[in-house]
Amino acid sequence: MLRTICEDFSFILVRNRIVSEEDREIYIYGLELILNSLVAIGTIVILGFLLNKVLITAVFLIVFCSIRSYSGGYHANQYWKCYCIGCLTYLSVVMLAENISIHSSGLYSLSMLIISYIGIFLMAPQNSDKNPKTRDEIRKNNITTKALTSLYTLIATIGIFAYPNANKLWFTIACTQLVVTIFLMITILQRRYVR
């Protein structure tokens, strides 16, 4: 269905001479990415309201989307799979944040922050086969990924010690960064073992 909507819209762009016929497939691909992202983010926002987890949802989306857009990592081969993985990832992080013990959340958060910090620094960014980057783009993504990861790790670490009452937020940051690390690991393993 997304493909059909994007194809129809691209025809309108071609007919109005906004886009050339040769570039139509590129625009269809870009429109599919945008629509899929909007649908997934919209669903996560709605779930956040329904679950009454607006702040945790906002933190998850900010950390996940900002790091992931520069770090790369695992992408499903179909949009519906990407959608499902995104929503299930979000629900998993929320459920873990809600059910973590107050007494051990700081330790778990620090552990995940250390693992994800090292993992992201070692593995990011991953270049995509569908959207390959130039050396300059990879260098910029590397710097941005490391800066964002450092910033979020610093915020969460200070928060764990200075504001322990907000442990769910710090845990959400740590867990979300760990998810990005796992997606990076999956990509590396796929490239190494699946051909």
Q: What is the DSSP string of 51-67?
A: TT-HHHHHHHHHHHHHH
SS3 182: helix
Q: Are residues 1 and 82 in the same domain?
A: no
Element housing 35 (H / E) = helix 24-50
CA–CA separation, 157 and 150 (whole Å): 10
- The pTM of this model reads 0.86
pLDDT at 131: 67
Predicted confidence at residue 16, as pLDDT, reads 81
Q: How many whole angstroms separate alpha carbon 181 and alpha carbon 157?
A: 18
Number of domains the chain is built from: 2
Can you give the pLDDT at residue 195? 62
Which segments in the chain show pLDDT lower than 50? none
Based on the domain organization, do 175 and 91 belong to the same domain?
A: yes
Distance separating alpha carbons of residues 193 and 188, to the nearest angstrom: 9
Query: Are 123 and 185 a contacting pair, CB within 8 Å?
Result: yes
Q: Are 36 and 75 in contact (CB under 8 A)?
A: no
Q: Which domain holds residue 84?
A: 52-193
On whether both 60 and 5 belong to a single domain, the answer is no
Q: What is the pLDDT of residues 10-52, one digit of tens each?
A: 777 777 877 777 777 777 777 878 888 899 999 999 999 999 9
Closest CA to 30 of 12, 1, 7: 7
Residues 124 and 139 occupy one common structural domain: yes
